[in-house]
A and B are shown apart, each in its own frame.
Chain A
């Protein structure tokens, strides 16, 4: 048995990762604004950025108010852990990959199931794509139970502080990929999430819908069949299928939850109610609304009709 050298426990700075990254966020955002102004590459809108940054601020308020619930859940489940995994280098490496895999599935299900989409839709609701979009974050992530996707990690035995540390690293990593200023990054794109991969993720073009769910590593999308490369012939159109008609942060934060409430309370059966809650975004009993699948099917049929027969 190989002796595993312990690093002694969680670093003292673990809980402050995002706070320490904020000055860099500000510098990068202002820098991006200046570059966009000078080069006309990329786009900014003051009112859209105001909405995005307000959502980010509200996200931090929500974390102060209810973030402890998620942390408490981690520690509660950790009591029943299957293995005692300490702060050793092999465990840290394993946790990095496990956390990123958990993020991929959380992110994918947040696009495929309306309950989780109701929180995540906020991040996609901007029709712009720049570094302020990265900070456009949900207010309802904790109350919407998005944290449950990481509970298996603490159940396995990864220390909650370690999981939280890598979650914070992942969020900080994903900040810089929200830009149109970086085109491609060569072999880096084979393994890591990049601006190009993430532009596809934020696009509403039928070709790009529901793809590239990566946090740090794009390998999960390649592995699970959700990878779509950016096509220079088709510029991404950003936003959501039913784009919002408001910059009001409260409407942005809660519009999908209100939509769910309306649908569930008017549902004609329990099956329909559950469909509205846990079916794909856009699901309806009569198929009258659009889901990602129906949009892609319609697009594929349109492409086939437009292609001359050989």
Chain B
């Protein structure tokens, strides 16, 4: 019983610390544009080349097809960006209203709803074709 009381108190303390962080303004969101996508790709995969790319209208995500056929997916995570490379078989792309849905075969990377009012042709073609079988 004592353990659960301590855990309850711990939860309150956690909420307090998160509230302090939020009140201090640690709530920056970054935006992803083409330049940021290229910079991140150069850091994570030196030598990789982008064949086609698309950045979300709200700057929250970006998708690129590399010259070797892999997909690079960038997603904002607060004030950071996560960039992941996926083999075509690991990502499924589908068009949806207002954008593109990307589904990944990785519990650590949930479904991405990318806001794109006008998806580029290459992305629309890949999405129409299923874009993989994740």
Contact = CB atoms under 8 A, between A and B. Distances in A.
Interface stretch (B11-19, B92-100, B114-122): B11-19
Given A243-B84, A244-B108, A33 B18 contact: no
Contact of A302 (B11, B47, B78, B84): B47
Interface string B51-62: 000000000000
A49 B18 contact: yes
Given A29-B17, A45-B80, A47-B78, A246 B26 contact: no
B14 A245 contact: no
A53 B78 contact: no
Contacts of A125: 108
A41 interface: no
Contact of B18 (A50, A244, A255): A50
B77 to A, nearest CB: 7
Contacts, number: 118
Given A49-B18, A53-B18, A255-B106, A302 B46 contact: yes
Contacts of A49: 17-18, 21, 26
Task: Tell which of A43, A50, A54, A256 has the most Cβ of chain B within 10 Å.
Answer: A50
B7 A246 contact: no
Contact of A64 (B4, B16, B28, B106): B4
Given A239-B80, A246-B108, 9 more contacts: A33-B24, A34-B24, A44-B21, A45-B27, A45-B28, A48-B80, A49-B26, A50-B21, A60-B10
Closest CB pairs A-B (n = 5): A255-B108, A46-B21, A245-B109, A255-B107, A44-B26
7 contacts: A29-B17, A30-B20, A53-B17, A60-B10, A132-B17, A239-B80, A248-B110
Interface of A: 19, 22, 26, 29-30, 33-34, 37, 43-50, 53-54, 56-57, 60-61, 64, 125, 127-128, 132, 237, 239, 242-248, 251-252, 254-256, 258-259, 262, 288, 298-299, 302
